[in-house]
Structures are given as C-alpha cells and as structure tokens.
C-alpha cells in the first residue's frame, strides 16, 4: 500500500512489517520528565507510542503536550484524542496544534464516561462521536478544510487510527462497526486487549470474509497481567473486557511471586499465536505503569529489533 | 411528560422560614402524574410546613391551590386575586411553571417545590425514565425509533461504544445500552443493514447549544 502521510508508523505498515506500538499514560502532575523517561525506556522496542487522553476520565497532563515532548526527543507519538471533553472547535484546534509540531498519528476515541474518573460531577461534551472524529480528521487532511467549510492554511497530515473492541456487546455488530469506521476513513486500528483468542480469531475471520483486513491495518492489543488479582479485576470490573476463566485460573494457579512472570508468558504466547492470524498487521502492547516489561515482551515475541525506516 | 421529584422538605423550609403567609401552588399535569407536585403533594407539603413552623413556635398560614396547568396564562391568572395576600409562593410545577409564575407575579417571591429532571415516560408504576432531550431535529427515523441522544450516556450517534456489556451501559448495570436497543429493534424490523449507515455530524444549533429556543407560529399569533 502507498502512504499518504509522513507517519513512520504508516511507512512501516505499508512496507509490510509487523508494527509494534505501545502506550504511556501522562502523569497526574506537571512533571514532563515522567513521560520522557517512560518513552526513553521503550523507544527502541516500538515504532510509535500512544499517549492517552485523560484515560478513565482521570485528569492528567494533556496528551498533546506529552506527544510534543516525545516528538522533541525523536520518538514517534500517536495522539489519542477523545470527544468527551472538547467540542468541534477545540478538537480541530488541537489537531492543528499537533500538526504544527509535525505529529503524524492520531487515534480517534469517544472516551470513557466521566463518572469513572475524578470528576463525575463534570459536564461532558460529545459534540462528535469517535466515528465523526475520524471523518473530521480525514476531511481536514484530504479536503484541506475545516468542518465549517473554510480552507485550512497548511492542513494536518495525519495517519488516522481508531480503537476496536471485538469483545463488547452485541457481538454481531462488532464487524459491521469496524466497517463503519473504515467507511468513515480510518486507516489503522488498535484493538482492545485480547485474552479470548478464539473470539478474536472469529472476529478477524468475519472481518476477512468482508475483505476488511485489506482496507485497514489491524494492530492486535495485548496487556500482560501483573497478578491474578488484576486478571480478576479486568474480568469482572472493566466494561467490555473478555477474560476467559482458564486465563484467570492459569494466573491464580501459580504462586504470587511467580505471577508477573506468568503474565508475561501468557502475553508472549498470545502474540505468537496472533502473529499467525491473517489480517493482523502488528501489535499494540499496553503495559500501563509497567512499561519496563514492554521490552521483554517485544523481545521474547521475536519482534525485536524494530525495522529501520527514516 | 416532564418528570420531577419533590424537593427535600428542609430545603423548602429554608426558602420560606421568614414568611408567615404562604401560597402553595400545585399543577394538575405532568407533576401530578409523577406524584411530585399535584394536589396530593401540595396537601402533604402544607402539613409538613405547618408542623415544622409549630415546632419552632411560629405561626404559618398556608393556602393550597392546584391549577390545571402553570405553563399557560389562562390558568395562572386564576390566582391573580389572591396572590397579593401572601408573603411568598411555592410552586410545585416543573421549572417552567415556577418561572412563568415568577414572571407573572413579579412582586411575590416564588420558590420551586420540586426538582425538574427530564422528559420521559412511566415505564411501570413508580418508575419514570428519560426519552427525549428536545434536540430540535429528531433523528428517531434513523435510529429505529430509539433516541441515542437522551438514552446513550455519551449521546453517541454512531454507537455503541466499547463499554456496552450484556445489553447494559458501561456507566450503570441497571441502565439499558441505547445502542443495544437500537440494534435489537433494527433486527426485529429486518433492517440490520441500516446499522452501517453513518449518521452525520449533528447540527446542535437547534438544541440547547443554540441558545434559548422559541417557536413562533405567525398563523396562530394574535
Ligand atoms: S432525536 Fe432529539 S427530538 Fe428526537 S427523541 Fe431524541 S432528543 Fe428528542
Ligand atoms: S454502553 Fe451503550 S448507552 Fe452506554 S455509553 Fe456506550 S453506547 Fe452509550
């Protein structure tokens, strides 16, 4: 596939390499070095790093500023942007701000509801939804116009991504929903963390049956468990997460001090198996507050070294 | 209908503490149907206030009236002859009625007796739920007759989000996911393929965002 933006992630995918992305959550304070330290640690093991946008609705240092810090240290950022907190003026304005620092990747999300975070009494915006944000970025980039119709003086050049959750309900529209995002103009997908591999494989098969795997780059999302407690928490408490009993049992079947190791093992095994799934074009390794493990996971999965592309 | 809930009695006592003669005005429409501000609730409030004043060793004169509606001049006019006899009024109508009364009887302090919540339905006895947010440009024709603006916690026009679980919304296990309902109904209607139509970015200028709204019908105006 030919590339449409200067994004390094896009080039790697277009060249047919398995891409590896990871993500970092900004700090709950103004210490910018927290983010650069995390990035410094993993940068040689990944092609690009997502910076979350006030994930789980907990107020943090903003994604855009953190992405600029990565860019300045020569790391490729993926700007996560949720529609929960900004209307179309603010979204477009932040996109231009990002473009002015040569940020070339964006991940369009609607965002968790604010009731999960530190400001349950706050307003939400949702002027657009995630699909409409995809359309917005594509429109700004490809037509060179604002939503209001005026010309943009030097439009943004962004590789446009979105999330997909193969495990949320109702399952029957999970593939149609992917098709909808593709119709809106999405170019890469990072999936929800995959623990139920069979269900993911079924989802991929249904996507392939419609040829969707040829229209979008799908990066499979993985997250290592640190403990059996975390596995149980994810299974029972996190909406839209599918953790099969056998995975929870495997984690609780080993002594507490061995659990982190087991979690990494499960993660690496999942990557090995998912590599064989037609249509999987890379991995999104999420190890929030456990970033140091990204190195091991990438290495043990045979995804290191990363391809050199300028 | 407009759904409201009774305000806590202490809050109302706080409003009227310094008055001696109070007019309590109920409304016979929506707030009667949802048991928040009809004749019955006016009665209950009257006795609660009288008792509270007695406890503090104060006298209170309360007059109870329940109007057919408080959102029309015609009915609100019915209290014109008596309102000046009272130091203050508490309206148990929705916020619309309270304001209309305050507009009309400019010199009388008017306090709200209910918290106004939403436009909704009686799902079953004692249960009311939201159905519409008056967005001014109804999209029910595109969403199988189920409104994602009022019923999806993120008002997603192209839902569901990744948090939809077993038919319920990510914010509350008791709350139906609007998009699950839409999909179920599309299926029932044999129109599931309509799910893939992209619903365009909405013009919110007809909604609250566009400022206070007004409908003017020249053919009906006098
Ligand atoms: S689409 Fe608008 S007008 Fe129609 S039910 Fe929903 S909020 Fe009300
Ligand atoms: S779970 Fe359903 S109703 Fe709740 S926010 Fe998501 S799409 Fe909307």
Query: Residue B162: which of A129, A168, A183 has the nearest Cβ?
Result: A168
Chain A closest CA to B37's CA: distance in Å?
27
Mean pLDDT score, A14-20: 97
Inter-residue contact B22 to B62 (CB < 8 Å): yes
Best probe of the A interface among B155, B161, B170, by most A CBs < 10 A, is B161
Express each pLDDT in B73-113 by its tens digit. 999 999 999 999 999 999 999 999 999 999 999 999 999 99
User: Does the pLDDT at position B18 exceed 80?
Assistant: yes
C-beta atoms of A183 and B163 within 8 A: no
| CA-to-CA dists, residue B186 to A184, A186, B151, B183, B195, angstroms | 21, 25, 16, 5, 8
B188 secondary structure, DSSP code:
H
The per-residue pLDDT for A89 is 98
C-beta atoms of B198 and A88 within 8 A: no
Domains and CATH numbers, chain B: 2-118 (3.40.50.2300), 134-207 (no CATH)
pLDDT category at A288 given cuts 50, 70, 90 is confident
Query: Which residue is closest to B198 within chain A, CA to CA?
Result: A180
C-beta atoms of A169 and B201 within 8 A: no
- Mean confidence (pLDDT) of chain A: 97
User: Does the pLDDT at position A2 exceed 90?
Assistant: no
Query: Residue A115: which of B165, B171, B192 has the nearest Cβ?
Result: B171
Residue B160, chain A, CB below 8 Å: the answer is: yes
Express each pLDDT in A233-261 by its tens digit. 999 988 889 999 999 999 999 999 999 99
Express each pLDDT in A47-77 by its tens digit. 999 999 999 999 999 999 999 999 999 999 9
pTM: 0.96
User: Does the pLDDT at position A1 exceed 70?
Assistant: no
Q: What residue owns the CA closest to ligand 1's atom 4?
A: B138
Element (DSSP H or E) covering residue B46: helix B39-55
Tell which residue, B125, B70, B126, B129, has the closest CA to residue B103: B70
A151 secondary structure, DSSP code:
B
User: Does the pLDDT at position B216 exceed 90?
Assistant: yes
Structure tokens at A294: 């990204």
Mean pLDDT score, A82-105: 98
Mean pLDDT score, B16-24: 97
C-beta atoms of B165 and A192 within 8 A: no
Chain A closest CA to B115's CA: distance in Å?
17
User: Does the pLDDT at position A159 exceed 90?
Assistant: yes
Mean pLDDT score, A20-36: 97
Chain B closest CA to A164's CA: distance in Å?
7
User: Does the pLDDT at position B126 exceed 70?
Assistant: yes
**Residue B205: alpha-carbon gap to chain centroid:** 22
Longest dimension (CA), chain B: 70
Strands (E), B55-206: 61-67, 88-91, 110-112, 114-124, 127-132, 168-169, 172-176
The per-residue pLDDT for A310 is 67
Q: What is the DSSP string of A105-144?
A: EEEEE----GGGTT-TTS----SS-HHHHHHHHHIIIII-
Number of residues assigned to chain B: 222
Domains and CATH numbers, chain A: 8-300 (3.20.20.220)
Query: Which residue is closest to A125 within chain B, CA to CA?
Result: B154
Mean pLDDT score, A100-126: 97
- Count Cα atoms within 13 angstroms, Cβ side, for A93: 5
Mean pLDDT score, A91-96: 98
Q: Is the CB of B22 within 6 Å of ligand 2?
A: no
pLDDT category at A309 given cuts 50, 70, 90 is confident
CA distance between the termini of chain B: 28
Chain B closest CA to A128's CA: distance in Å?
6
Residues of A in contact with B206 (CB under 8 A): none
DSSP lists the bridge partners of residue B65 as B25
B222 burial class (0-12, 13-18, 19+ CB within 10 angstroms)? exposed
For residue A203, the CA-to-ligand 2 centroid distance in Å is 21
C-beta atoms of A113 and B171 within 8 A: yes
pLDDT > 70: percent of chain B: 100
Residue B154, chain A, CB below 8 Å: the answer is: yes
Cis peptide leading into residue A305 (ω within 30°): yes
């Amino acid at each position: 596939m030919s590339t449409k933006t200067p994004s390094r992630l896009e080039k790697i995918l277009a060249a047919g390499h398995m891409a590896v992305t990871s993500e970092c959550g900004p700090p709950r304070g103004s210490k910018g070095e927290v983010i650069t330290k995390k990035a410094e640690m993993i940068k040689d093991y990944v092609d690009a790093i997502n910076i979350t946008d006030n994930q789980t609705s907990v107020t943090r240092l903003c994604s855009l500023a953190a992405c600029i810090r990565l860019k300045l240290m020569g790391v490729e950022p993926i700007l996560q942007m949720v529609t929960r907190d900004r209307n179309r003026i603010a979204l477009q304005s932040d996109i231009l701000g990002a473009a002015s620092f040569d940020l070339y990747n964006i991940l369009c999300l609607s965002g968790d509801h604010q009731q999960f975070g530190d400001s349950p009494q706050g307003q939400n915006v949702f002027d657009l939804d995630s699909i409409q944000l995809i359309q917005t970025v594509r429109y700004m980039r490809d037509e060179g116009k604002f939503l209001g119709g005026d010309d943009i003086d030097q439009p943004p050049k962004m590789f446009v991504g979105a999330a997909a959750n193969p495990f949320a309900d109702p399952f029957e529209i999970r593939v149609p929903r992917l098709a909808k995002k593709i119709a809106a103009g999405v170019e890469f997908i990072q999936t929800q963390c995959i623990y139920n591999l069979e269900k993911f494989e079924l989802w991929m098969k249904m996507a392939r049956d419609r040829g969707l795997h040829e229209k979008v780059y799908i990066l499979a999302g993985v997250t290592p468990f640190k403990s059996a407690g975390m596995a149980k928490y994810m299974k029972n408490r996190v909406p839209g997460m599918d953790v099969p009993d056998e995975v929870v049992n495997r984690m609780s079947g080993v002594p507490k001090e061995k659990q982190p190791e087991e979690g990494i093992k499960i993660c690496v095994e999942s990557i090995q198996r998912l590599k064989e799934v037609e249509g999987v074009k890379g991995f999104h390794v999420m190890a929030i507050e456990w970033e140091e493990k990204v190195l091991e996971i990438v290495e043990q999965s045979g995804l290191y070294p990363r391809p050199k592309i300028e | 209908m407009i759904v409201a809930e009774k305000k806590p009695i202490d809050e109302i006592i706080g409003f009227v503490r310094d008055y001696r003669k109070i007019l309590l005005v109920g409304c016979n429409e929506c707030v009667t149907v949802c048991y928040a501000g009809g004749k019955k609730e006016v009665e209950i409030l009257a006795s609660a206030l009288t008792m509270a004043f007695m406890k503090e060793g104060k006298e209170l004169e309360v007059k109870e009236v329940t109007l057919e509606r408080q959102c029309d001049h015609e009915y609100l006019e019915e209290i014109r002859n008596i309102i000046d006899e009272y130091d203050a009024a508490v309206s148990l109508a929705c916020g619309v009625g309270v304001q209309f009364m305050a507009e009309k009887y400019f010199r009388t302090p008017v306090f709200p007796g209910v918290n106004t919540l939403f436009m909704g339905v009686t799902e079953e006895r004692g249960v009311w739920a939201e159905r519409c947010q008056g967005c001014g440009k109804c999209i029910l024709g595109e969403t199988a007759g189920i409104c994602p603006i009022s019923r999806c916690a993120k008002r997603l026009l192209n839902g569901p989000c990744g948090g939809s679980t077993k038919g319920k919304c990510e914010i509350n296990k008791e709350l139906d996911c609007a998009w699950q309902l839409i999909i179920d109904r599309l299926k029932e209607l044999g129109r599931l393929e309509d799910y893939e139509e992209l619903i365009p970015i909405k013009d919110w200028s007809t909604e609250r965002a566009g400022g206070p709204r007004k409908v003017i019908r020249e053919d009906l105006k006098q």
